[in-house]
Every structure is written in C-alpha cells, then in structure tokens.
Structure 1
Amino acid sequence: MSKHATSWRIRFVAGLALLLASSIPASAKPIVVGKPVDLVLCLDVSNSMDGLIDSAKIKLWDIVNDFSKIKPTPELRVALYSYGSPRYSAGAGFIRCELDLTNDLDEVYKRLNALRTYGGEEYVAGVAKAALDELKWSANPKALRLLFVCGNERADQDPRFKIADVARQARRMDILINTIHCASAESGDDPLWKELARLAGGKGVNIDQNRNVLDKPIPTPHDDDLRKLSGELNKTYLAYGNDRLEAAKKQMDQDKAAEAAAPAAGAARSASKASALYRNDAWDLVDRLKNDSKFQLKDLPEDQLPEELRKLSPEKREAAIQAKCKEREALQARIQDLAAKREAFLRDARAKEPKKSAEKAFDEALRELIREQAATRELVIPQ
C-alpha cells in the first residue's frame, strides 16, 4: 500500500472517530461500575426488640450514605429477614424472608417499617442458614457479602442447626457473618454470638439497642433545607409502566416514614436520594434512560408513559426527559453540598458531647464493621 493511501486512511479513521464522539450528548458520562456489595440484615422481632427495629428505621439511610462515599459507587443490594415471631411458620423456624436482595431502597425501607415485634422463639443459626440458602447472592468473586444477625437471646437455641455448621457454610460461600447481640454489659454477654461470627470470619459485638432511640437528636441548620429539596427532587421523577402510580407513592410514603422515625432519618434519606445508590430504573424514565443504554423510549406503549409526556411529540418527549435530568442533577448537587455541611456540623457537635456508655449503638456497631470489612475488598469508606 502506498504512503499516500496509508496517510489517507489514517485521516479518515481519525475524522470518523471525531464525528462519532461529537454525536454523543455532552451530558452522557461513561458509567463506571463499582464492585457488588450484598448487605443482609436479620432482625429479631421478639417482644423486647422494639429498640432494635426503631434503631434500624432511624439509621438505615446513614448506613446507605456510608456506601455512597465509596468510589466508584458500588452496586449495593440489601435483603431483610425477620425472625422470632410466633406468627411465622414453626416449620420454617419462626423465620421470614421479608425481601430478597434488591437495589430498590424504598422497598427495603417500606418492609423495615412494616416489621412488628411479637414474642417467640429466636433461632439465630436458623435465620443465618436461611439467608445463606435462599438468597441470590452475587457470584462475582470480588463482591463483598455481609450478613448481620441481630438479636438478644442465646445463640444456640435452634434445635435444627449448629452454629459451627452454619459458619463453615458461610466460609465456603465467602460470606462474612457478623453478630450484633442486644444485651448490655450489665445483663450479661452470650459468648456464642461472638463465636458464630468468629467461626464465619466475621465479628461479634454487643450493643445497647435503645441508644439510637433514646439519644437526644442534634438539630442542624441544614435539616429544613434538605427536607424541602427532597420534595423538589421528587418532582423530577417521570414514573412509567403499569405500576408507576404505586411506585411514585411509595417514594413519598418512605419520605414520610423517615421523618416519622426521626428528623435526622429524614435528613439522611434526603442525602441518600441524591446519591448514585438511589436508582429507580424500574419506574423512573430519567434513571432508566441514564443507566440503560439499550432502552428505547419509542418502544414504550403509550399507556405506560407519564401523563405529562403523552401529549408531547416523540422529539419533545426526549427533550422533556433531558430537562428533568438536568434539573435533578442540579438539585442533587445542592443536596450533596448541604449533606456534607450537615455531617460536619454533627461531627463537631458530637465531639463536644460527654462520652457515651461502653455499649455501642446499633448504627455505630454496624457502620464500624462495614467500614472495616469493606476495606478487605479495597472499598474505602472515608471517615
């Protein structure tokens, strides 16, 4: 081939590359996929566990926000089990899977808020084994798989399964079992809780389950603004599909549930909604078009479109979605800025408080263990 022909081909390929690059929308950024993280919470719902459940309601969004600080953002999925209620099947060990692993954080919070305590038998080994056997855990060898069992009775009550056997199964599956025993130092420690965690490669801790509930909340100058911006953020969602109305309602319902749990929970949820972890591809067109390169708006049946898009031409529909996307990004940036200021305010306020009791609160124990174990997969959560 002549030098002239070779030079011409090089110029042609370079020009074609520039043309293709210019056709990509400026707002389209390559999505860097982080490592998978599976987080499973097994919560005791026997009579004395109201403090534990309330703590989870108050602090779930703070836990989510910790994961959102990891770069690149991980693919977080959460599952929920409850155990210890006589209302559940005795044949299943008084254990119930409330929700399989999902990235639908609104659904997780909805199921968490639906939990009710009621006296019964608490089978720690059984609930851990059920989670190991039943859930669709990530098969990615780089995934972080965390299973937390939280409760207050003896850990060896299950007549069907032995702690050591369950721990060995978890190790084979590369799943870390952590135990959170809700007994104060005064009421006594059950070493078998920590033994289960140790044998499974995790860690066991004691907590004061009522600390998150009884601790006086610290108001910040940013709480009201975060609440308002969260409401504005909801207006940028374009619900589609057969279940669009229910999905949009669920989002608003969980806003209210977080505020009802504690004002701090509402503010933390606002921050979560501004993070990359809060994705609603299944019902929101903005998220779907942003995250799913194969999705075509023209393929969506007319009756599954949001009402406000049906009256527009196909070209104007795309433009309307892009406008909502830009509006959302601007709101998310404002929320992230306020959330960082709120976090700094709380950090300074807590530093001035007198030292708490020796037992950690639910979220302190959980977040400390998550930070520690995430680091083993090179997932760094900044302090």
Structure 2
Amino acid sequence: MCRILLVGQTLLAFLVIASLSLVSAAEEENKKPDKERPTVQLAILLDTSNSMDGLIDQAKTQLWTIVNEFAKTELAGQRPELEVALYEYGNRGLSATDGYVRMVSPLTNDLDDISEKLFALTTNGGEEYCGRVILDAVEQLDWNQGRGLRSIFIAGNEPFTQGDIKYRVACKAAVEKGITVSTIFCGERSEGIQTGWEDGAQIADGSYLCINQDHRSRAIKTPHDKELVRLSAELNSTYIPYGDAEARATFENRQKAQDANAAKATVSAAASRAGFKASGLYRNSGWDLIDALAEGKVELENLKDEQLPEKLREMTIEQRRKYLDEMAKKRQQIQQQIKERTAKRDVFLAEERERLAREAPAEAAAAAEPFADAVKEAIGSQGGN
C-alpha cells in the first residue's frame, strides 16, 4: 500500500524505526570501523528528467535528515556502518548506450562526496528506464553480504515499465542478492499503482510510497540552529588534511562547501549536517590525519613533509603527535557540545511538530520533508538482518 507522506512524518518515521530493531542509542559511539558491525547500504536512484527539479531539491536538502537517523540509532543491537550510493537516470544528457543511466557515486561512507554530487545534479528531459537503473545498481555496486540492510530507493514519476530491461527481472535480481527495492512515486497513489511502481516494490520486498516532489518544505526553526552551525564551523578547524597539496586543498574546501550548501538550503539542513558531523558515521580517514591515524590507515612516521600542512612540517615527530592529540581532544569536546545541542533540538522539533499537528495542520504539512520521510519509513519497515 502506498502511504502519501505530507504531514508530520518525521516523528512518525522515527517512532516506526524505534518500535522495530532500530532503537535509540545514547552511549558514545566508537569511530573506529569494526568489521563485525552491521552495515546499512543505501542506493538512491533519482529521476533527473525535466519534471524532477523538486525531487532533486528535496534530496539535496534532506540528505542530512536521512543519514542522521542512523547516527543516533542501533541496528540489531549495534551501531551500524553506513554507505550510500547515488545514481541518476532519465536525463537526456546521459548516454543513450547506457540507457540514460549514470552511476554518480559508488557505495561510500564519504557523505560530503555524496552531498557535493547531489548539488551538482541538473535535470534534462529523457527516457526513464527504471528496470535498467535498478539492474545497474544491483550488478555494479559492491554489496556487502554480511549482517545489515541492503536497500535500493528509486524515485520518479514516469511508468515503471519503460525500457528493454523489465523491472520484474531487475527486482528479482535484487532479491537474489538480499537487496530490497523501495519505490517512491512522485504523484498520485493510483497512478503509481497503474504504472508498476507498487508491483516493483512488492516483488523486491520493499515499500511503495508516494510523495509530492514539488513540495517546498518550510523548515521549523529552533533556538539551537545557529549555535549548531557555529559549532560545525569550529569543528572544521580540527581537521588536518594530508596527502599532496592539491588533494589537501580539495578535501578541506569540500567540507566547507557542503556546510555552505546545507546553509543555503535551510538553517535546519545546516543544523542537521552539524549533528551528523559529530557522529561516528562522519569519517574522513581518506584525507584527515586524525581519522586516518585512529583507523590505522597511516603511520605518522611514514608521511613525508610534503604530504603534511606547513604547520606540521616545522615540528618533530613528538611535537606532531602532541599537536594531533590536542586537536583530537578539541574535536571530541566540540562534538560533545554538538551532540548535547542536537538532543535538545530533537526534543524541540518533536514537540513543535506535535503542537502543529494539533493546532495548525496546514503549517505541519508545510514543514514535512517528503523524500526523507519516505526513505526513513521504508527503512523502518524493513528492520534488520
């Protein structure tokens, strides 16, 4: 059955998740990856044809709302790892040979990279081949076969039946790999049923949901948003890039750019991003020296001077260790402040949504986040493996 997500669904989705195997977790998370921890893998497949500007905008602004759910919950009694992949389809600017499908990003735990690529997406009319993009995601991505969740989310508004690769074949291929496919139809419930979106979800053990892709969410402002944005910027000062000069500049600038992208969207998105940056799921061991050392990816003694920022080049190994320890402690302190503020913000938002639902239903509907709510509800209905 399709659930049209418009009013107060963020709180509803949270309650659904909490009632299943995903439960709230208040204890400190361990940032070091653990191969025994379950992994949540999400592949997001977005229609980027002309009519989907609203859908893309929702994905951009609601990404941090989605991933934050996993930063503050447990899966099967453990804090999960999180990996996200991104595909676009139905864009005339893509290769016809590839079925107008493009892998924008493989599965990655680098959410800054996902955000950057989301904000770079543009729309252009084309052919929407749902079966093709689903099968590509099933076959091309590095799906984990261990414990956890493996889910594809496909969103669009054209018939699910288009293209040479039949959606039933693609969805059955997903099931064989233990991957669920949830469909998010941008339009009326009955039209999605008639055009195959519900059937695709049923075949692949997923959820069929409907959203208004043109909904413009009116963010609920809280007394904690500005302080969270300030702390997020302060947190950036604790990141120490390593590698060649170009790579150091690229990654450092990207972190700040995604802060700016979230802030331009809404102050709520920026505050949600701050909360994620304070979690154990926000890891940057590919470019940040503190995370890389914590995860055992590099040895400080093996790094050449030219791979370090100017400030560290002037130090001895002992001085470098001391400085990095100090910055790691500073990071933990700022992250703790963000966590405390985020907890207060979550309480404020839950109470305000309940109040609006009672007293001002129209305002409650305006504050909904349809795309994020659809993804969270589908994940909540799946539970854990």
TM-score when normalising by structure 1: 0.86
| Matching residue of 1:234 | 236
Aligned: 1:157 with 2:162: yes
- Runs of 4+ that moved beyond 6 A: 357-360
Deviation at 1:372, TM superposition (A): 2.2
Q: Residue 219 of structure 2 aligns to which amino acid in structure 1?
A: P
Q: Supply the AA of the counterpart residue of 1:376.
A: G
Distance 1:201 1:310, change over 3 A: same
In the alignment, structure 1 residue 139 sits paired with structure 2 residue 139: no
Distance in 1, Cα, partners of 2:47 & 2:226 = 34
Matched to 2:225, the amino acid is D
Give the Cα separation in 2 of the matches to 1:194 and 1:165.
15
Query: In structure 2, what is the equivalent of residue 84 of structure 1?
Result: 90
Q: Post-superposition shift, 1:357?
A: 6.2
CA apart distance, 1:186: 8.4
- Can you list the C-alpha shifts for 1:289-314, whole angstroms capped at 9, x where unaligned? 1122x631000111001221111111
Deviation at 1:360, TM superposition (A): 7.7
For residue 328 of structure 1, the aligned residue among 320, 327, 331 is 331
* Matched residue SS, 1:63: helix
Instruction: Tell me the distance in 2 between the aligned counterparts of 1:227 and 1:360.
Output: 20
Distance 2:47 2:82 in 1: 23
Aligned to 1:25: none
Letter in 2 for 1:307: E
Partner of 2:207: 203
Residue 363, structure 1, aligned to residue 372, structure 2: yes
Residue 190 of structure 1 deviates from its aligned partner by: 3.4
> Contact between 2:229 and 2:274, CA under 8 Å: does it hold in 1?
yes
Shift of 1:189: 4.7
Map of 2:292 onto structure 1: 288
Aligned-partner residue type, residue 338 of structure 1: R
The farther-off stretch of 29-38 and 72-81 is 29-38
Corresponding residue pairs, total: 343
Name the CA distance, whole Å, in 2 between partners of 1:139 and 1:258.
33
- RMSD across aligned C-alpha pairs, in angstroms? 1.9
Q: Go from structure 1 to structure 2 and tell me whether the alpha carbon gap of 1:357 and 1:317 turns closer, same or farther (over 3 Å shift).
A: closer
Structure 2 CA distance for aligned equivalents of residues 165 and 310 of structure 1: 57
Structure 1 counterpart of 2:381: 372
User: 1:177 aligned to 2:178?
Assistant: no
Q: 1:182 is matched by which residue type in structure 2? A: C
Compare CA radii of gyration and give the structure with the larger one: 1
Greater relative CO, 1 or 2 (CA 8 Å, sep 6+):
2
Determine the structure 2 residue equivalent to 1:94: 100
Task: Give the structure 2 partner of residue 121 of structure 1.
Answer: 127
1:247-258 to structure 2, matched below 5 A, reads: 247-258=251-262
CA displacement at 1:30 relative to structure 2: 9.1
Residues 263 and 251 of structure 1, relative CA distance in 2, 3 Å threshold: same
Contact 1:37–1:75, Cα closer than 8 Å, also in 2: yes
2:44 corresponds to which of 41, 46, 49: 41
**Do 2:87 and 2:105's aligned partners in 1 also have CA atoms closer than 8 Å?**
yes
| Cα gap change, 1:360 to 1:278, in 2 (>3 Å) | closer
Provide the secondary structure at the position in 1 that maps to 2:384. Answer: helix
The answer on 1:312 being equivalent to 2:315 is yes
Aligned to 1:266: 270
CA 1:296–1:198: 2 relative to 1, 3 Å:
same
Following TM superposition, by how much is the alpha carbon of 1:193 offset from its aligned partner in structure 2, in angstroms?
0.3
Identity, in percent, stands at 40
Q: Distance in 2 between matches of 1:108 and 1:363?
A: 15
Cα pair distance change 1:107/1:266, threshold 3 Å: same
